[in-house]
Amino acid sequence: MDDNKQKLREISELGEFGLIDHITKGIKLNHKNTLKGVGDDAAVIEYGDICAIITTDLLVEGIHFNLIYTPLKHLGYKAVVVNLSDIYAMNATPKQITVSLAISKKFAVEHIEQIYEGIKLACEQYNVDLIGGDTSSSLTGLAISITAIGEARKEKITYRNTAKKNDVVCVTGNLGSAYMGLQLLEREKEIFKTDPGFSPSLEGYDYILQRQLKPEARKDVIKILRELNVKPTSMIDISDGLSSEIFHICKKSTVGCKIFQDKIPIDLNTEKMAEEFNIDPLTAALNGGEDYELLFTIDINDLEKIKDQSMIHPIGHITDKEHGAVLITNSGQSIALQAQGWNQMKE
């Protein structure tokens, strides 16, 4: 064995975001109309007065979804929504999608029809056109790749790297519910695997199950912010947990933040499920992911404009970079936030 042979690194050592940073380091943009490449929720390409906003996402069976408990129609719907959420996170409006599928032999035509029922329903719900895509065979299962295309005027686009000191940090809706829905489904799956005759006990958990299986993108919030004449100073959607997303904004904007535990919105159904699993609801909100809510900052002078909006929750403010990203607990302790999120590259 050659001792001088370079040891290959495991991808899990870097994690998803570390890998992205590593492989995109040094990429040069050759066209002036490419306003934003990698590093945000979506890419931005300028075409005259209107910019195209483009994002893509890949969902892989066994990694992002489990067909034991995920209805195919729901999967198709969710695959679209997670991409549209990225477009809204740029303060833009989604217009078109393309869909690519890799399909193994275990799937029949009727199964693909169910997926497309969900895709078409999402297109109707969000007024988006399905304009193309690709299909391929797969040896290992199902994979869905969707590209979403949106549009916005250049001056309306919101990035991750433009938060500034004293901005107010806001989130929409509530956090942690999708994660607790996943925990419930995983628990029932494990019981079913040991007892195929087992009937899952899912009654009374409709809300957290819907948040996991059929999430919605926050087009309503984007509409309200426009009506209030509030342009966020930075924005990102919450797909990997509040901690990871606020770290993205802080890193890209070269700032710190102070988040208050008692301001983080958590639904009663989430708290109930977390108690049943002996999980701290705060942990679910900070690190759970897949809520597809919006995390954004606004100028402090705009705070008065949003104070009566029940779905928008101010949870903290932006500070100097030197102060780091911290959580102020209910007892008044200052704890450094950890961007744990979900590392899908780790086995």
Non-local (6+) Cβ contacts of 144 within 8 A are 58, 59, 75, 76, 79, 99, 100, 101, 115
Lowest mean pLDDT among 65-69, 200-204, 288-292, 333-337: 200-204
The one-letter code for the residue type at 288 is G
Same domain, 69 and 192: no
Q: Is 311 left (phi over 0), alpha (psi -120 to 50) or beta?
A: alpha
Same domain, 221 and 104: no
Same domain, 126 and 213: no
Predicted confidence (pLDDT) at residue 309 exceeds the cutoff of 60: yes
Tell me whether strands 256-260 and 325-328 are parallel, antiparallel or unpaired: parallel
Contact 213, 181 (CB under 8 A): yes
Contact 176, 288 (CB under 8 A): yes
Q: What kind and span of H or E run contains 129? A: strand 129-137
Non-local (6+) Cβ contacts of 238 within 8 A are 171, 175, 245, 289, 291, 292, 293, 294, 295
Structurally, the chain folds into a number of domains equal to 2
The one-letter code for the residue type at 7 is K
Distance CA(16)–CA(210), nearest Å, equals 26
- In the chain, how long is the greatest CA-to-CA distance? 69
CATH number where 202 lies: 3.90.650.10
Give the distance, in angstroms, between the CA of residue 327 and the centroid of all CA atoms in the same chain: 21
Residue 267 resides in a domain: yes
Q: Looking at 114, 135, 156, which one is the last position of a domain?
A: 156
Give the distance, in angstroms, between the CA of residue 261 and the centroid of all CA atoms in the same chain: 21
Q: Looking at 133, 156, 179, which one is the last position of a domain?
A: 156
Mean per-residue pLDDT of the chain: 92
Same domain, 15 and 128: yes
Q: What percent of the chain has pLDDT over 70?
A: 94
Distance CA(178)–CA(342), nearest Å, equals 13
The Cα-based distances of 76 to 115, 127, 179, 301 in angstroms read 5, 16, 19, 41
More confident site: 6 or 85: 85
Same domain, 70 and 180: no
Predicted confidence (pLDDT) at residue 264 exceeds the cutoff of 90: yes
User: Which pLDDT does position 17 carry in this prediction?
Assistant: 63
Q: Looking at 130, 156, 182, which one is the last position of a domain?
A: 156
The average pLDDT across 235-264 equals 96
Predicted confidence (pLDDT) at residue 103 exceeds the cutoff of 60: yes
Same domain, 208 and 114: no
Predicted confidence (pLDDT) at residue 45 exceeds the cutoff of 60: yes
Same domain, 152 and 172: no
Contact 142, 61 (CB under 8 A): yes
**Owning domain of residue 251:** 168-336
Same domain, 124 and 176: no
Residue 19 resides in a domain: yes
C-alpha closest to that of 293 among 235, 243, 223, 238? 238
Residue 208 resides in a domain: yes
Q: What kind and span of H or E run contains 217? A: none
Lowest mean pLDDT among 11-20, 189-198, 284-293: 11-20
User: Which pLDDT does position 183 carry in this prediction?
Assistant: 95
Residue 312 resides in a domain: yes
Same domain, 26 and 100: yes
Tell me whether strands 50-60 and 43-47 are parallel, antiparallel or unpaired: antiparallel
pTM over 0.85: yes
Residue 5 resides in a domain: no
Residue 114 resides in a domain: yes
Same domain, 61 and 102: yes
Q: Measure the CA angle with vertex 157, ends 152 and 160; round to 5°.
A: 145
Q: How many CB atoms within 10 Å of residue 191?
A: 12
The backbone torsions φ and ψ at residue 122, rounded to the nearest 5 degrees and listed phi first, read -65, -40
CATH number where 17 lies: 3.30.1330.10
Same domain, 129 and 217: no
The backbone torsions φ and ψ at residue 258, rounded to the nearest 5 degrees and listed phi first, read -130, 115
